[in-house]
Amino acid sequence: MAIAKHLSAAVMVCGFAGSYFLVSNILDRGPPVHYLEATAKETEAQQGGPVEIHFRVYRYKNCEALDIQRTLTDADGEDHAIANYTFSKGKGLGFEDYDRTITIPKEAVTGPATYQVRIKYACNFINHIGWPIVVWSPKVNITITPAPVVLEIPLPDLTGKD
């Protein structure tokens, strides 16, 4: 009978601990990073050219980034995925300033555009199984200018050979 009481108490403790773990994971929805600033170092960038973006963030906790999407929306409202970028090694807590250099897609329409980053974070078990924390950067305004036109002019063959 004493064993049954101890076993029953152990099951109850495990049940409470498991419930606490599950509930605390469900309620932990605070973003690990808060964007304080996002600005382009130059307000204009050429099609196919680079632009440097400055970010200032405050990192509350270190969490795994499950998915990162970087999108440039051009003057026609067309979204362009930005694949190439520079990466920061900073993972400390607190304030962080960093720059990213991206390349404006050649096919992006000239005119006003915005660049934005969306990151899905997993800080706990619940985030990993399908309910990640989503953080958006502020939109960065850029004006896309036309790429310089390169004219190829064929030169005549002056060697006399046909």
Q: Is 156 inside any structural domain?
A: no
The pTM of this model reads 0.76
Q: Is 126 inside any structural domain?
A: yes
**Both 10 and 70 in a single domain?**
no
How many structural domains does the chain have?
Answer: 2
**Both 61 and 13 in a single domain?**
no
CB 132 within 8 A of CB 66: yes
The predicted structure's pLDDT at residue 151: 80
CATH number of the domain residue 76 falls in: 2.60.40.1930
Owner of token pair 């992006």: 108
Residue 121: give the domain boundaries.
32-145
Q: Is 152 inside any structural domain?
A: no
Dig out the tokens for 56 from the structure: 């200032």
- Contacts of residue 29, defined as CB under 8 A and 6 or more positions apart, other chains included, come to 133
- Per-residue pLDDT reduced to its tens digit, 100-143: 999 999 999 999 999 999 999 999 888 888 889 999 999 999 99
Q: Is 161 inside any structural domain?
A: no
User: For residue 46, is pLDDT > 90?
Assistant: yes
Separation of first and last alpha carbons in the chain: 109
**Both 72 and 87 in a single domain?**
yes
Phi first, then psi, for residue 62 (nearest 5°) are -95, 125
**CA-CA-CA-CA torsion for 5, 8, 9, 11, nearest 10 degrees?**
160
